[in-house]
């Protein structure tokens, strides 16, 4: 079994030939730091809107090296933040509804551009399932459905599936019921990143790889190879942001880990079903997420080691053996028919979490400094919407996107160490214990441990 090496997704399609690094100091109209989905989508829409713009993208490794080439491949319309917190903005609840509507449309926008640009990323819009495997999880699902209805989401946006309805789609051992949202697609994440990078480079964006940016200030991105001077400098570094000067407490690099099976036999797929390729998660506090891959495997992810002291990063995605074992146990429990396929690869990556778990898209017209991120694990579609929004903000266009409630949102800073480390580790220890308690008991009550964790962490529900 392979461990790390960035991700299975990259190994499966082959690592791309490196683009050259920045050859020396240069001027541009827009400098973008980071070639994940956020940076690439921003560059894409800027060039589409104004082909004459000189756009430079600076990437420390290669396009899609970060979360964008390692994620679970859920192109999800899930709000990357809290409705209640966003509703405190000037647009109130209507602004939140509009942001959610835009996110749902974004799933189709990603599909549209993939097709238009000839990006073969195995995209299938099969919706997403959140499956309950204990009475407490099921009670949470039903409560959540009520909340969704309270926010005006009808059955076309989310609905409850009884056990039999769920089983007709996919066989998950111990499942009691599920919520189903149709607005989600499955994708091969690295193929999407690679295709997007090719589209962006093809459109005339200067995409430099192996070019770490050492500092960002108004009008300037500084690298070892030289400076890029531009009236607009955009930070699109999500989980890596803490490494930049002055940004140590802006976004917490939360770790997420994944495993993938070998290809399942026809008999195993017959037993499991899953012909609709819905993305699938559970309703545990330390939740998992999974997809049926285009090449007939199951890829499943979860938290593993949630956070490394001092906002530390992984080494090219290498995962601890204990995490692989833990995810493997969950996989075999949920999908016993997949056991024979074994495990082919494990990897991990970091996603950016703001202190209030609410993503931001922002640009200061006085300094020309902008950034987007903090999607808290819901960034695949959100990065597209953020990229379109950043492009509008840079061009000074008033659009329906530039008034969405995440634009200009300010999150508090994270606590300094060791409080940050102790807090996040403690939180996930609480969640895991709460999950064990809920699974062992038959009560439909959410464990008090988890409730305490939610209050301390501020995780939105």
Binding site for ligand FAD (CB under 6 A): 33-39, 58-61, 65-68, 70-74, 76, 212-213, 236-240, 244, 256, 258, 289, 301, 349-351, 373, 375, 377-380, 383
Nearer to ligand FAD (CB atom), residue 38 or residue 261:
38
Nearer to ligand FAD (CB atom), residue 271 or residue 459:
459
Both tokens of 446, joined, read 């959410």
Q: How far is the CB of 295 from ligand FAD (least distance, A)?
A: 17
Nearer to ligand FAD (CB atom), residue 226 or residue 444:
226
Nearer to ligand FAD (CB atom), residue 139 or residue 301:
301
**Alpha-carbon separation of residue 358 from 251, 355, 410 (angstroms):** 11, 8, 9
Nearer to ligand FAD (CB atom), residue 88 or residue 229:
229
Nearer to ligand FAD (CB atom), residue 69 or residue 449:
69
Q: How far is the CB of 216 from ligand FAD (least distance, A)?
A: 8
Cα(461)–Cα(454) distance, integer angstroms: 9
Both tokens of 349, joined, read 């990556």
Q: How far is the CB of 317 from ligand FAD (least distance, A)?
A: 9
Q: How far is the CB of 381 from ligand FAD (least distance, A)?
A: 6
Nearer to ligand FAD (CB atom), residue 10 or residue 65:
65
Q: How far is the CB of 104 from ligand FAD (least distance, A)?
A: 13
Q: How far is the CB of 277 from ligand FAD (least distance, A)?
A: 13
Q: How far is the CB of 449 from ligand FAD (least distance, A)?
A: 25
Q: How far is the CB of 38 from ligand FAD (least distance, A)?
A: 3
**Alpha-carbon separation of residue 292 from 215, 300, 335 (angstroms):** 40, 9, 12
Nearer to ligand FAD (CB atom), residue 106 or residue 447:
106
Q: Counting every residue, how long is the chain? A: 461
Q: How far is the CB of 211 from ligand FAD (least distance, A)?
A: 6
| Measured CA angle at 107 (ends 106, 109), to 5 deg | 55
Cα(41)–Cα(388) distance, integer angstroms: 7
Q: How far is the CB of 355 from ligand FAD (least distance, A)?
A: 16
State the virtual CA torsion across 333, 337, 341, 347 in degrees, nearest 10. -30
Nearer to ligand FAD (CB atom), residue 175 or residue 313:
313
Q: How far is the CB of 62 from ligand FAD (least distance, A)?
A: 7
Nearer to ligand FAD (CB atom), residue 237 or residue 446:
237
HEC string of the chain equals CEECCCCHHHHHHCCCCCCCCCCCCEECCEEEECCCHHHHHHHHHHHHHCCCCCEEEECCCCCCCCHHHCCCCEEECCCCCCHHHHCCCCCHHHHHHHHHHHHHHHHHHHHHHHHHCCCCCCCECCCEEEEECCHHHHHHHHHHHHHHHHCCCCCCCCEEEEHHHHHHHECCCCCCEEEEECCEEECCHHHHHHHHHHHHHHCCCEEECCCCEEEEECCEEEECCEEEECCEEEECCHHHHHHCCCCCCCCEEEEEEEEEECCCCHHHHHHHECCCCCEEEECCCCCCEEEECCCCCEEEEECCCCCCHHHCCCCCCCCCHHHHHHHHHHHHHHCHHHHHHCEEEEEEEEEEECCCCCCEEEEECCCCEEEEECCCCCCHHHHHHHHHHHHHHHHCCCCCCCCCCCECCCCCCCCCCCHHHHHHHHHHHHHHHHHHHHHHCCCCCCCHHHHHHHHHHCCCC
Nearer to ligand FAD (CB atom), residue 62 or residue 414:
62
Nearer to ligand FAD (CB atom), residue 122 or residue 349:
349
Q: How far is the CB of 164 from ligand FAD (least distance, A)?
A: 27
């Amino acid at each position: 079994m392979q461990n790390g090496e960035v991700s299975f997704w990259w190994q499966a399609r082959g690592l791309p030939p490196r683009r050259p690094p920045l050859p020396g100091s240069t001027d541009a109209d827009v400098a973008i730091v980071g070639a994940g989905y956020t940076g690439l989508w921003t560059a894409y829409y800027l060039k589409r809107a104004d082909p004459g713009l000189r756009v430079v993208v600076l990437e420390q490794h290669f396009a899609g090296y970060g979360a964008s080439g390692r994620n679970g491949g859920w192109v999800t319309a899930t709000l990357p933040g809290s409705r209640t917190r966003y509703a405190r903005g000037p647009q109130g609840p209507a602004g939140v509804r509009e942001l959610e509507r835009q996110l749902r449309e974004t799933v189709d926008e990603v599909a549209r551009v993939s097709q238009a640009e000839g990006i073969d990323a195995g995209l299938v819009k099969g919706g997403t399932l959140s499956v309950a495997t204990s009475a407490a999880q099921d009670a949470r699902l039903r409560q959540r459905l009520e909340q969704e209805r309270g926010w005006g989401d009808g059955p076309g946006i989310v609905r409850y599936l009884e056990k039999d309805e769920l089983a007709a789609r996919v066989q998950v051992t111990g499942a009691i019921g599920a919520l189903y949202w149709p607005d989600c697609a499955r994708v091969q994440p690295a193929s999407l990143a690679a295709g997007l990078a090719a589209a962006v480079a093809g459109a005339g964006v200067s995409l430099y790889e192996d070019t770490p940016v050492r500092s960002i200030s108004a009008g300037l991105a500084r690298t070892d190879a030289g400076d890029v001077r531009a009236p607009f400098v955009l930070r699109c570094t999500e989980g890596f942001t803490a490494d930049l000067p002055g940004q140590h407490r802006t976004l917490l690099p939360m770790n997420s880990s994944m495993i993938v099976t070998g290809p399942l036999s026809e008999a195993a797929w017959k037993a499991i079903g899953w012909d609709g390729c819905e993305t699938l998660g559970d309703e545990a506090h330390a939740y998992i997420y999974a997809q049926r891959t285009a090449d007939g495997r199951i890829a499943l992810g979860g938290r593993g080691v949630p956070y490394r002291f001092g906002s530390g990063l992984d080494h090219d995605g290498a995962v601890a053996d204990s995490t692989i074992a833990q995810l493997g146990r969950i996989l075999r429990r949920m999908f016993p028919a997949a056991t024979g396929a074994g495990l082919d690869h494990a990897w991990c990556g970091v996603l950016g979490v703001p202190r209030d778990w609410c993503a931001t898209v922002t640009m200061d017209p006085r300094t020309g400094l902008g950034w987007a991120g903090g999607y808290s694990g819901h960034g695949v579609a959100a990065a597209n919407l953020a990229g379109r929004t950043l492009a509008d903000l840079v061009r000074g266009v008033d659009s329906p996107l530039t008034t969405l409630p995440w634009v200009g949102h300010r999150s508090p800073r994270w606590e300094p160490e060791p409080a940050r480390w102790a807090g996040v580790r403690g939180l996930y220890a609480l969640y895991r214990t709460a999950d064990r308690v809920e699974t062992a008991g038959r009560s439909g009550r959410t464990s008090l441990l988890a409730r305490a964790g939610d209050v301390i962490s501020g995780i939105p529900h």
